[in-house]
């Protein structure tokens, strides 16, 4: 049992990766749409590149969403509007009128006959108003044209009338005035006018609920099909153009095929197929890390970070598609290569981005267009996004990425439609939104630094500030080492710029590479200002131990101050497995009869494993050795640099650093030029 537990403990990193791999695979497959994949790829206006296609089963031709929407719109536009005629309002008005006219008193100016005459006039006016119908103010603007025919509901009967026949408040006032006669009005006419103005009420109103119900009833009768294709019927010939009715039939076949494939009996097989494809993609990512980025592969935290970002992108894209596929291109997929490149390198960023886009091809419409668009955008992202600590760089890069999206989409549109008139300009707004959302990468990078303990160029910029606590302490305790580190940083940065390496990373690493020396500063010649060398009192082996220990102590000090692993790598590798050759030769002189093992005088390594750490090794050794030249000339400096770097190459110090001979040649040239500028003699001024 204990042996089994020990075996698990020894292989815990591999077990963790297997579990992470399985969880990510299951999660991604779960996000995939619950439908089968159609085996033909086609687009409107394209040639049919497959063999003649015949129907293998009967199916109906489905109307497009646009056709159905058009029919619904037509029903709404042509549907009658329904109005209610309220007879109870008419009865109440008549009753109120009789009561009001009956209480008029007989006065000198108003006789019984006059009152009777006014009563007849009032009844005539009321009849004229309600024979046509008095429309309430709120319902006056529900129709677009006065000549429109509307339906009037009256006592369980419906009749069609012209909307213009319904009276508005202005029409009612006009009828009253015409029937009362010419002005000025008599006392009786004024009394009748006041009575009518107080009792006449609208009796017709728009019945919105009933109208909507009628429209919905008509919409429910819409047929979602427009024909039928029988088994064995020819759908399209090879080389035919996919358009019109053929496009509709192919879309219907695609829909029907998906529903037939995704049945209970086939469910497990389809999920199994999805699982294989997703597993292959994620396995390729792991194999890439194992083959070319072994230091990342061995770090479970970094592997988790990469897998998490792949899943997060797929998850967000899936949510958008389920919510509204029209916003497909709003999701800023370029964030993934930006983040991966910020923490690791461009090659891994592009590889991860391509695999993620390929996986997304299963869940997006027009998968070829989607994959092409985003792979091109990803390549542009990798080529343009650099030095994120410079704010202008990200703005320029995002603008270029957005422009590539727009240009590529425009090209696809004119290929599909045959001209530019059918381009959907709304997509350009979506691409602009995509570009704006890409700026979230800055926030995400900061969050990931805190959560996963990674380091980006922004953090490197902060660490490269010579006013940080650790660098101030180095300057105070070992000023010579500090000046040496500054010179090496300048050399390394210039060299990195020339070969396209991460200049900010190598500069920051150079500033911290010798911090271990400040624990015993006087044992290093650059700090010996008094001319007293404490190594004179030590044996060569003891001196070697003190010298080589500055690497180990530097790593310990860096961890104490929570420096990122990427900076600690420079401390560990800047001497590689080179030797303290001076003390080795001294030991041979002291013990001429004894064979001296050079391994006792070597640094413990490891050797550089990146271009940046290799650059630091070259610049560090070159800068230190240049101080030994008594009369520095261009030739002597050139010979020294060639000798030092050629020796490092012969000792296989750059075997793991993925650096080319051409790049080493360029680095040599930069170092020589910089050192010549440093040791350039000034003109001697007269006293």
For every residue of 550-592, DSSP letters joined together read HHHHHHHHHHHTT--HHHHHHHHHSSTT-B-HHHHHHHHHH-T
471, containing H or E segment: helix 469-477
**Joined tokens for residue 136:** 């309430």
Question: What pLDDT is recorded for position 191?
Answer: 81
pLDDT in tens, 426-452: 888 888 888 888 888 888 888 888 788
* Per-residue pLDDT at 107: 57
Is 283 a residue whose pLDDT tops 90? Answer: yes
What is the end-to-end Cα distance of the chain in Å, rounded? 88
Q: Report pLDDT for 484.
A: 92
Over the chain, what is the mean pLDDT?
A: 84
Q: What is the pLDDT of residues 560-609, one digit of tens each?
A: 998 888 899 999 999 999 988 888 888 888 888 788 888 888 898 899 98
pLDDT tens digits along 542-554:
888 989 999 999 9
Whether residue 231 contacts residue 58, with contact meaning beta carbons closer than 8 Å, is answered with: yes
pLDDT-wise least confident of 298-307, 324-333, 645-654: 324-333
Which pLDDT score, from 0 to 100, does residue 351 have? 94
Q: What is the mean predicted confidence (pLDDT) over 93-118?
A: 77
Q: Helices 426-437 and 391-417 meet at what angle, rounded to 10?
A: 150
Give 657 or 666, the one with higher predicted confidence. 666
Say whether pLDDT at 684 is over 70.
no
Residue-wise pLDDT tens digits, 253-272: 777 776 665 555 567 777 88
pLDDT of residue 440: 85
Is the pLDDT confidence value at 186 over 80?
Answer: no
129-181 pLDDT tens trace: 888 888 888 888 888 788 888 888 888 888 888 888 888 888 888 888 888 87
Three-state SS string across 504-516, please?
Answer: HHHHHHHHHCCHH
pLDDT at 625 over 80: yes
Distance (Å, rounded) from C-alpha 426 to C-alpha 217? 33
State mean pLDDT over 341-350.
87
Lowest-confidence range among 116-120, 228-232, 527-531, 598-602? 527-531
Would you say 570 and 605 are in contact if contact means Cβ atoms under 8 Å apart? Answer: no
Task: Look at the block and give the residue holding tokens 């993934």.
Answer: 336
Scanning 11-46, the segments in alpha helix (DSSP H) are 12-31
Residue 506 confidence (pLDDT): 93
Q: What is the pLDDT of residue 261?
A: 55
């Amino acid at each position: 049992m204990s042996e089994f537990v020990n075996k698990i403990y020894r292989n815990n990193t591999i077990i963790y990766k297997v579990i992470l791999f399985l969880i990510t695979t299951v999660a991604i497959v779960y996000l995939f749409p619950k439908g089968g994949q159609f085996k033909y790829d086609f687009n409107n206006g394209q040639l049919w590149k497959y063999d003649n296609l015949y129907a293998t089963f009967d199916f109906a031709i489905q109307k497009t969403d646009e056709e159905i929407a058009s029919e619904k719109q037509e029903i709404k536009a042509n549907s009658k509007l329904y109005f209610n005629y309220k007879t109870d309002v008419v009865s109440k008005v008549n009753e109120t009128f009789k009561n009001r006219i009956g209480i008029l008193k007989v006065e000198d100016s108003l006789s019984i006959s006059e009152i009777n005459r006014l009563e007849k006039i009032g009844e005539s006016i009321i009849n004229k108003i309600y024979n046509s119908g008095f429309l309430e103010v709120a319902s006056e603007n529900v129709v677009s044209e006065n000549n429109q025919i509307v339906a009037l509901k009256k006592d369980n009967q419906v009749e069609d009338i012209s909307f213009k026949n319904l009276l508005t408040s202005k029409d009612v006032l006009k009828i009253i005035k015409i029937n009362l006669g010419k002005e000025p009005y008599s006392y009786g006419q004024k009394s009748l006018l006041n009575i009518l103005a107080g009792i006449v009420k609208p009796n017709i109103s728009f019945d919105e609920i009933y109208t909507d119900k009628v429209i919905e009833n008509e919409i429910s009768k819409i047929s979602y099909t427009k024909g039928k294709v029988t088994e064995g019927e020819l759908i399209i010939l090879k080389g035919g153009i996919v358009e019109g009715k053929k496009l509709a039939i192919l879309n219907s076949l695609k829909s029907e095929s998906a529903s037939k494939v995704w049945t209970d009996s086939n469910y497990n097989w389809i999920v199994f197929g999805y699982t294989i494809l997703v597993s292959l993609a994620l396995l390729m990512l792991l194999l890439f890390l194992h083959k070319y980025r072994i230091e990342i592969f061995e770090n479970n935290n970094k592997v988790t970070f990469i897998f998490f970002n792949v899943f997060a992108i797929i998850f967000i894209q899936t949510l958008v598609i389920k919510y509204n596929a029209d916003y497909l291109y709003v999701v800023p997929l370029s964030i993934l290569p930006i983040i991966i490149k910020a923490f690791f390198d461009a090659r891994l960023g592009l590889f991860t981005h391509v695999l993620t886009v390929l996986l997304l091809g299963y869940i997006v419409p027009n998968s070829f267009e989607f994959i092409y668009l985003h792979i091109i955008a990803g390549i542009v992202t990798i080529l343009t996004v650099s030095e994120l600590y410079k704010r202008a760089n990200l703005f320029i890069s995002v603008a270029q990425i957005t422009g590539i999206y727009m240009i590529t989409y425009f090209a696809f549109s004119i290929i599909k439609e045959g001209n530019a008139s059918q381009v959907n300009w709304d997509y350009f707004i979506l691409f602009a939104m995509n570009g704006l959302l890409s700026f979230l990468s800055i926030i995400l990078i900061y969050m990931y630094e805190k959560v996963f303990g990674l380091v980006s160029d922004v953090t490197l910029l902060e660490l490269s500030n010579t006013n940080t606590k650790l660098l101030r302490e180095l300057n105070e305790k070992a000023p010579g080492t500090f000046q040496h580190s500054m010179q090496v940083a300048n050399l390394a940065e210039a060299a990195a710029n020339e070969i396209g390496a991460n200049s900010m990373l190598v500069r920051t690493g150079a500033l911290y590479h010798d911090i271990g020396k400040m624990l015993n500063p006087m044992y290093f010649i650059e700090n010996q200002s008094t001319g007293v060398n404490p190594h004179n009192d030590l044996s060569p082996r003891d001196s070697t131990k003190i010298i080589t220990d500055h690497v180990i102590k530097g790593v310990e000090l860096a961890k104490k101050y929570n420096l990122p692993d990427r900076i600690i790598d420079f401390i560990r590798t800047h001497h590689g497995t080179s030797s303290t050759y001076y003390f080795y030769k001294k030991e041979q002189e002291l013990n001429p009869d004894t064979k001296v093992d050079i391994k006792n005088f070597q640094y413990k390594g490891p050797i550089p494993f990146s271009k940046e750490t290799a650059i630091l090794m070259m610049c560090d050794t070159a800068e230190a050795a240049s101080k030994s030249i008594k009369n520095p000339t261009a030739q002597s400096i050139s010979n020294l640099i060639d000798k030092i770097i050629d020796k490092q190459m012969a000792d296989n110090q750059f075997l793991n650093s993925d650096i080319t001979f051409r790049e080493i040649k360029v680095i040599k040239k930069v170092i020589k030029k910089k050192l010549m500028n440093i040791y350039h003699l000034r003109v001697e001024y007269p006293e």
